[in-house]
Every structure is written in C-alpha cells, then in structure tokens.
Amino acid sequence: MNRFAIHALLILRSIPRWNQKNSHIIKHTDSTDIPVCLQKNGKRHRTMRGLAAWGYSAKGWFYGLKMSITADLRRNLLAVKFASGNADDRQIFKKLNKDLLGIFIADAGYISKDLEQEFYIEHKRILFAKPRANMKRLATELQNRLYDTRMLIELNFRSLKMFYNLETSLPKSIDGYFGNYVYSLLAYVLR
C-alpha cells in the first residue's frame, strides 16, 4: 500500500485544484490535531520523532501533527497542509490560502490584525475570524450568520477521523503514516 501512496497523492492533489476552480465564494479554514500515539507514549515514540511535536488543542496536550484544511460552503476540500503539532495556525493559514479568493471564515485561533491586513485583497479576499467571548469587538448580522456556518468544517474533521480512519497509531514507518493520511483524504474527497 505504501508503494502506491505516491500515485494516490497525485490524484489527491488534482481534486482540490479542480474544486478550487468551482468553489463557493465562502470558505472555511481550520486545523485539527492528529495524534500519532497515546499521550503517555509521546516521549518514547520513535517513528514520527522528526516530524511530530507536542501541541495543545481544545482537547488538551497531544503528540503528533496538525492538519489544516480549507473547504468551501459545500464542504468540498480546497487545500490541505500538514505541520508539526506546535505550528502556529496563522502562519499555516497564509501558505494554505495564498492562491484562493473569497470570504474566509475562521475561529478565534486566527485572530490577528496583521494577518487580516496582509491577507486582505480589495474586492477579492477577506478574512473574518470569530472574536473570543471576552473581546469587545462588534460583529454585523452578516458576520454572525457567516460564523454560524463555520461548524461545517468541523463536520469534515469528524468524518475524516470517524469514518475514514485518519487518526491511527498502527503504521510502523513515516511512509505508513503518510500513506494512511493520503488514502483517508482521497477516500473522503471521492465520496
């Protein structure tokens, strides 16, 4: 299976590119943790030692990778990027969406005045990051309705993890891990 992962990756790369051409104007970006082992085994994990790192998410500490995706309102996958578990979401966001245009909706992890100004292209691209509850930031009715659609990207993550076996600790090599990720993502986009 690992031998054919390169061919699956080539197919996987072409599908988001095609989706980008036919994408909805509203896009969602978020990241999720992908643990490569149980937390108690993180210090002894050898297979992904060079790529994985300790990271913190809403669920707590994990040892592994972080997968960021951008999907449109129809839940079509537009871009995917893997990084170490301690990577900054805002830096990944810039690289992930540099060629995409539209209205981008993100959670509070992407709040940055510099990111919003750098990412903005007049009449082509804008980022709306949902303010935290303790922030004194006003949002329009349109922004609130757009924020309400952000849960669609969480459905993508839930489907990938629950039904397409994205999270696993069974592979015995880096190629095995990335082969699993490629096959899971490919199965998801071909659904």
Please check whether residue 110 is in contact with residue 129, taking contact to mean a CB–CB distance below 8 angstroms.
Answer: yes
With 90 as the cut, is the pLDDT of residue 154 above it? Answer: yes
Q: What percentage of the chain carries pLDDT values higher than 70?
A: 100
Structural domains of the chain in order of their starting residue, each with its CATH number = 2-189 (3.30.420)
**Type of residue found at 77:** L
Reported as half-sphere exposure (CB side, CA atoms, 13 A), residue 122 has a value of: 0
The model's confidence at residue 59, banded by pLDDT at 50, 70 and 90, is confident
Question: What whole-number distance in Å separates Cα of residue 93 and Cα of residue 29?
Answer: 8
Q: Exposed/middle/buried for 73, CB within 10 Å: 0-12, 13-18, 19+?
A: middle
| pTM for this model (two decimals) | 0.90
**What angle do helix axes 5-21 and 174-189 make, rounded to 10 degrees?**
40
